[in-house]
Amino acid sequence: MFNLFKNSFLELKKTKTIVICGLLLAISLMLNTQALKIDGITIITFSFIANSIAGFLFGPAVSSILGGLTDVLTHLINPKGAYFFGFTFNAILGGIFYGSFLYRKMHGNKNLILRIIACKILISVIVNLTFGTYWYSMFSGKGFLVLLPARIYKELIVTPIHCIVMYVLLKAINKIYYQLNLDDNINTKN
């Protein structure tokens, strides 16, 4: 695990990493504004796409930084109430999961599918249901157990959609990255 983070931090020395992360940050900020909300609670958003791509290409350190920056900049650009670090923590933790599960892990369709599913389930349970529900209960004044059933229902619907989107995008990103010879470390055995 230490080497995974070390290699990911070393990615930050490369100009292409900074440039691609800048583009991913812009994409993430744009996607953050496009969300389906019901009763003030975000139901479906595709802002995870940029963070999962960063985790896939550059690892957990870069992806967690991107997630944290996205959350802070989203609040600065379009503030909706007071800033709350709990949501930034969730974005950072999500980036760690994406990078830990996906960084340099393209070893065939089945392996990628299993890694994406495991990653999204852990993010759903730990980040969204546990921490996210706790933060929303603190923020809204509603009880944790009152919010939990609706959030479980939401995660049961959204998680498979996110897995499918991630699989299609990461397969395409891997192919493009290989064809452009941007990284010799990504395995393209599909």
> DSSP string of the chain?
-HHHHHHHHHHTTSHHHHHHHHHHHHHHHHHHH-EEEETTEEEEE-THHHHHHHHHHH-HHHHHHHHHHHHHHHHHHS--SS--HHHHHHHHHHHHHHHHHHTT----HHHHHHHHHHHHHHIIIIIIIIIIHHHHHHHH---HHHHHHHHHHHHHHHHHHHHHHHHHHHHHHHHHHHHTT--SSS----
Q: Model pTM?
A: 0.87
- pLDDT bracket for residue 163 (50, 70, 90): very high
β-bridge mates for residue 36, sequence order = 44
Q: What is the CATH number of domain 2-179?
A: 1.10.1760.20
pLDDT of residue 174: 84
Q: CB–CB of 57/95 below 8 Å? A: no
Highest mean pLDDT among 10-14, 47-51, 91-95 belongs to 91-95
Predicted confidence (pLDDT) at residue 148 exceeds the cutoff of 80: yes
Comparing CA positions, the residue from 96, 104, 112 lying closest to residue 62 is: 96
